[in-house]
Amino acid sequence: MDVLIEYLPSVLGGLWTTIGLALTSLALAVFFGIVGASCKLSHSWALQTAGGLYTTLIRGVPDLVLMLLLFFGGQIAINELGFATGLWGYIEISPFLAGSFTIGFIFGAYMTETFRGAFLAIPKGQIEAAQALGIPSSSYLRRIIWPQIIPHALPNFTNNWLVLMKTTALVSIIGLQDLVYNANQAGRASREPFLFLMVSFIVFLLLTMLSDVGLRSLSRRYSHKSGE
């Protein structure tokens, strides 16, 4: 019990890194998702191909491989580019940056499919009607399409968030002091690895349950609005 009290603050301190990382990655994923879905839905052949390559690549390569490639390889690539062009000096990529960017990039591909599916679920007639009425595209996208995309996208969005949150555990491998990293360290220092890894297990489970409850109430709210 004493060990638990001694190390618990440092383990739970990692929780803030985990949550911060998850939210940053989510924001990036939504951004990449909107860009990706716009590419796939566009009429340009080049953009469609680029969007297709993006989602195929992410589905093919495991997350940790991409993360290590970006963390170690991105570092070198950026510095060689800076050296060659003389635009910037030595830059060190922080694990937080590499982690959130990689996770955001990976889940952007899943968000791409989520947003694309939700957009396609909206009856084409509505868009045609808006165009026939001469409503500018910026206006009908914002006032007609977007409010309907949210309830359609929400179930997949929820799922993506739950997987994303668990994926943040990988950053402990590149040395970021998140929940898992700190639990592992506390376990080694106290010689009670099971205890502290179990703490991180339970904290992740609680985060999942909390997200479940929160997103379920959100989906109830939106399904009322669309009258489903």
**What would the x/- binding string for other proteins be over residues 146 to 165, using CB under 8 A?**
----------------x---
**In the complex, least distance from residue 138 CB atom to other proteins, rounded to whole angstroms:** 36
**In the complex, least distance from residue 122 CB atom to other proteins, rounded to whole angstroms:** 22
**In the complex, least distance from residue 93 CB atom to other proteins, rounded to whole angstroms:** 13
Size of the site for other proteins (CB under 8 A): 39
Q: How far apart are CA 96 and CA 174, in angstroms?
A: 9
- Using CB under 8 A as the binding rule, whether residue 204 contacts other proteins is answered as yes
Which tokens hold the place of 177? 């002091």
- Using CB under 8 A as the binding rule, whether residue 9 contacts other proteins is answered as no
What number of other Cβ atoms are within 10 A of residue 28's Cβ? Answer: 20
Q: In angstroms, what CA-CA distances link 10 with 87, 178, 184?
A: 40, 10, 11
- Residue span binding other proteins (CB under 8 A) among the ranges 22-30, 35-43, 84-92, 167-175: 167-175
Name which of 35 and 174 has its Cβ closer to other proteins: 174
- Using CB under 8 A as the binding rule, whether residue 53 contacts other proteins is answered as no
Name which of 12 and 197 has its Cβ closer to other proteins: 197
**In the complex, least distance from residue 224 CB atom to other proteins, rounded to whole angstroms:** 25
Q: How far apart are CA 228 and CA 226, in angstroms?
A: 6
- Using CB under 8 A as the binding rule, whether residue 4 contacts other proteins is answered as no
- Using CB under 8 A as the binding rule, whether residue 73 contacts other proteins is answered as yes
- Using CB under 8 A as the binding rule, whether residue 173 contacts other proteins is answered as yes
- Using CB under 8 A as the binding rule, whether residue 66 contacts other proteins is answered as yes
Binding site for other proteins (CB under 8 A): 57, 59-66, 68-69, 72-73, 76, 162, 166-170, 172-173, 180, 183-184, 187, 191-195, 197-198, 200-201, 204-205, 208-209
